[in-house]
Amino acid sequence: MKEFNVAVVGATGAVGRMMIKVLEERNFPVKNLRLFASERSRGVKIPFRGEEIEVEVLGEQESYQGLDIALFSAGASRSLEFAPKFAADGVVVVDNSSAWRMDPEVPLVVPEVNPHAVADYKKKGIIANPNCSTIQMVVALKPLYDYSRIKRIVVSTYQAVSGAGQKAIEELIAQTKAWCAGEEMPAPKVFPHQIAFNCLPHIDVFLENGYTKEEMKMVNETKKIMEDEDIGVTATTVRVPVFYGHAEAVNIETEKKITAEKARELLSSFPGIVVIDAPEEKKYPLQIEAAGRDEVFVGRIREDESIDCGLNLWVVADNLRKGAATNAVQIAELLAEKYL
């Protein structure tokens, strides 16, 4: 089998470390793995397949030639600067940041939903991985959409702190420990307010229309991935004191009636989805159970009794896995199998 020279950029972060783990778990055909991070990580070694790989400082290289695929998760400004440099050296970049997602020449891919879009990597040498909350929602909606077009989506999210990086995880631990010990609450650094025992309706920055950037990512990315500019999408994104796993309450209006029973049938037979929907047995998707898994979990499937053709769903997935690293590695698998 053909093997590939792979880079992980942002290798020391929450997403980067998960990418390395997922490459190993899924047995991606890696010939050689190179790891990149900032000056702060000079000399750090990270294990991969029983070997210790030393992290390189991004920007110190004269060229990136010889690499085939680079998985980026070092933030949008590094992606804006370095993705074109890697691409110019013939490396296909799979970027996890918001930097390139809405560029018309960059495909935005969820392999279960629009795998064909990968072909457009040739335009700029960059493929964008969608936002974590968008990924799990479009996976859950795809089998329903294929049965009946979705006219409108109303979504509220309950997003884990790990979505905001390694330091955010440490902030929730420190605040929780302080509260339990009856000590003074450490001042928030990553989040705008205390996150322990609290929910913050504020992810990423506020925009002029009063929505947050995270909310508008869900609106715009959903239309691009579903290839339907006319779907109405409105979102409220909330950070909750959960370590791993994003949950979403999703309400949809469809053109044709989908009964709850039909929705369960469509969702159950779709790859990458697990239906957990037995409320009488207290069974529904939970963030603590989705953590560490690659599937998207759907439950609480109900017909919306306030309209003729509507459904309510509860959708949960591991934000660092399907929401980031696993989706990026699946894109790399499509590249490896079909294009490179």
Residues forming the site for ligand NAP (CB under 6 A)? 10-16, 37-38, 40-41, 58, 73-76, 78, 96-97, 129, 131-132, 163, 165-167, 323-324
Least spacing, CB of residue 160 vs ligand 3JM, in Å: 7
Per-position b or e across 169-178, b if 16+ CB within 10 A of its CB: bebbeebeee
Least spacing, CB of residue 230 vs ligand NAP, in Å: 25
**C-alpha distances in angstroms, 204 versus 19, 69, 230, 321, 332?**
23, 28, 25, 20, 27
Q: Is 246 a catalytic residue?
A: yes
Least spacing, CB of residue 164 vs ligand 3JM, in Å: 5
**Residue 2 partner contact from ligand 3JM, ligand NAP, none using kind-dependent CB cut-offs of 5 to 8 Å:** none
Q: Is 180 a catalytic residue?
A: no
Tell me the backbone φ, ψ of residue 293, rounded to 5 degrees: -110, 160
Residue 126 binds to ligand 3JM (criterion: CB under 6 A) = no
Query: What does the angle CA 22 – CA 223 – CA 296 come to, to the nearest 5 degrees?
Result: 35
| 282 conformational bin, left if phi > 0, alpha if psi -120 to 50, beta if neither | left
Judged by CB under 6 A, the residue of 12, 98, 220, 327 near ligand 3JM is 98
**DSSP code of residue 230:** T
Q: Specify the residue, 53 or 126, whose C-beta has the smaller distance to ligand 3JM.
A: 126
Residue linked to tokens 């029983």: 50
| 162 conformational bin, left if phi > 0, alpha if psi -120 to 50, beta if neither | alpha
Tell me the backbone φ, ψ of residue 18, rounded to 5 degrees: -70, -35
Catalytic position from the list 116, 180, 246, 309 = 246
Task: Tell me the window of 46-54, 59-67, 117-125, 158-166 that interacts with ligand 3JM (CB under 6 A).
Answer: 158-166
Site for ligand 3JM in 254-313 (CB under 6 A): none
Task: Go through the chain and tell me how many residues it has.
Answer: 340
Q: Compute how many residues bind ligand 3JM; rule: CB under 6 A.
A: 10
Name every residue whose Cβ is closer than 8 Å to that of residue 122 and which is 6 or more positions away in sequence: none
Judged by CB under 6 A, the residue of 107, 111, 163, 285 near ligand 3JM is 163
Q: Specify the residue, 13 or 143, whose C-beta has the smaller distance to ligand NAP.
A: 13
Least spacing, CB of residue 144 vs ligand 3JM, in Å: 24
Residue numbers annotated as active site: 132, 246
